[in-house]
Amino acid sequence: MGDRRETLRRYQAIWNGEQPLDTLDEMVTPGFVGHIGSRDRDLSRLKEDIASYRANAPTVRFTIDHQFGDEEYLASRATAHISGQDGNEFTLQGINISRWEGDRLAEEWAVWETPPVSEGDDRVG
């Protein structure tokens, strides 16, 4: 599992703009599928998303807060640190479950919080 955690750390570094996008090719399986909310993306679309994200939100940094897993899956809680135009930082929380084939990321399911609709919006789960 240590190798998987290291691979996810490098995956996060790509999202943070700290590693080249093409290093994804050695981290994920050719048939990779990501489920982001209810939207699906393959490796090609993942690369497009990261490139667009870095171009439009270059100051965002992701950190992993907690991870655990079993033989096939790794679950991670993560935080996106976002600097506003006023210099203040705010954060968004996300949870990601990744499925592995050997040491390669084969599938992931992630949901990131959307801003609460109102105070006290604590519904579901």
Partner 1 sequence: MIASDSNEALVRRLYDAVWSSDDFEIADELIAEGETHHPHGRTVAGGPAFQKQAASAFRAAFPDARFALEVIVSAGDLVSVRWRCTATHAQTGAKIEDYVGVNFFRIADGKIVEIWDTRDDLGLFAQLGLAPPPAELMSQVYRSEE
Q: Please state the separation of Cα 32 from the chain's center in Å.
A: 14
Q: For the CB of residue 109, give the shortest distance to partner 1 in the complex, in Å.
A: 4
Q: Where in 104-123 is the site for partner 1 (CB under 8 A)? A: 109-117, 121-123
Residue 74 as a binder of partner 1 (CB under 8 A): the answer is yes
Contact 52, 76 (CB under 8 A): no
Residue 99 as a binder of partner 1 (CB under 8 A): the answer is yes
Judged by CB under 8 A, the residue of 79, 81, 83, 104 near partner 1 is 79
CA distance 73 to 100: 6
Report CA Rg, the chain.
Answer: 15
Nearest to 35 by CA among 104, 112, 88: 112
* DSSP reduced 3-state for 9: helix
Taking the least distance from each CB to partner 1, the nearer of 17 and 94 is 94
Q: Where in 24-63 is the site for partner 1 (CB under 8 A)? A: 35, 37-39, 48-49, 51-53, 55-56
Beta-ladder partners of 82: 90
Q: For the CB of residue 123, give the shortest distance to partner 1 in the complex, in Å.
A: 5
Nearest to 57 by CA among 90, 28, 27, 32: 90
Residue 6 identity (one-letter amino acid): E
Judged by CB under 8 A, the residue of 13, 27, 60, 75 near partner 1 is 75
Q: Summarize as ranges the residues that interact with partner 1 (CB under 8 A).
A: 35, 37-39, 48-49, 51-53, 55-56, 66, 68-70, 73-75, 77, 79, 91-97, 99, 109-117, 121-125
